[in-house]
Chains A and B, each alone.
Chain A
Amino acid sequence: EPEVTQTPSHQVTQMGQEVILRCVPISNHLYFYWYRQILGQKVEFLVSFYNNEISEKSEIFDDQFSVERPDGSNFTLKIRSTKLEDSAMYFCASSDDGRGGPEMENEKLFFGSGTQLSVL
């Protein structure tokens, strides 16, 4: 079964440093997302991306965050100047284009295994 892959699996950084989290979504998917999960808390939406632009973002996704699809396969999340409270598991997800019909469940998301970001 196709899967979303994320690298690295763990990232340790110093506060104030820039980090880039990388994701390879499923190849025929058109919608891409980043979510995060602080230890012991809910999975939270950060941003959605479609047709090479952000389609929606949450309040968490402030000016320190940016996303990019630099080529046909990668999808990245950049945090410009990390803070202690950015420590979390970051999940990339992708979904289909929604044209498969009512039984195709194209609204479902495929998640990667996550990048555990630790800001010291």
Chain B
Amino acid sequence: SQKIEQNSEALNIQEGKTATLTCNYTNYSPAYLQWYRQDPGRGPVFLLLIRENEKEKRKERLKVTFDTTLKQSLFHITASQPADSATYLCALGPWMDSSYKLIFGSGTRLLVRP
């Protein structure tokens, strides 16, 4: 069966440390993998995307890796701040067949303590 999994337990870290979030999937072959941030009661906000032929992408304090053999993406936030506290969603898509729909994971809640 097809699955996309993110750690359901909240990640609780100290300000200034690096947060690492994991996204694993099975039986999917996305052309892209995206990461979004979602605050309570709000819509997802795009952070980064990575293509299936890319291994790593960086944007300011954010880094994402994509291993299509392991079917895994890691999302890192360096020098974390309390303002980074939110739920982070992994999303697969668009797809090789030109479908633009996104399939979301259930998200990992990050709490950064001051």
How many A residues touch B, CB cutoff 8 Å? 27
> Is B99 within 8 A of A56, CB to CB?
yes
B-side contacts of A107, CB under 8 Å: 32, 34, 49, 93-94, 100
Nearest residue in A to B31 (C-beta to C-beta)? A107
Instruction: Check: A42 CB closer than 8 A to any chain B CB.
Output: yes
> Is A45 within 8 A of B43, CB to CB?
no
Instruction: Check: A87 CB closer than 8 A to any chain B CB.
Output: no
* Interface residues of A, dominant DSSP: strand
Within 8 A of A (CB), among B32-82: 32, 34, 36, 38, 41-46, 49
Known: A56-B101, A116-B41. 17 other contacts (CB 8 A): A41-B106, A42-B104, A43-B91, A44-B104, A45-B101, A48-B100, A55-B100, A56-B99, A89-B41, A91-B44, A105-B46, A107-B100, A108-B46, A108-B49, A109-B102, A111-B43, A113-B43
Residues of B that sit less than 8 Å from A by CB: 32, 34, 36, 38, 41-46, 49, 89, 91, 93-94, 99-107
16 CB contacts below 8 A, A to B, read A31-B100, A33-B100, A35-B102, A41-B106, A42-B107, A43-B38, A43-B44, A43-B89, A44-B104, A45-B102, A45-B103, A48-B100, A55-B100, A107-B94, A111-B44, A111-B45
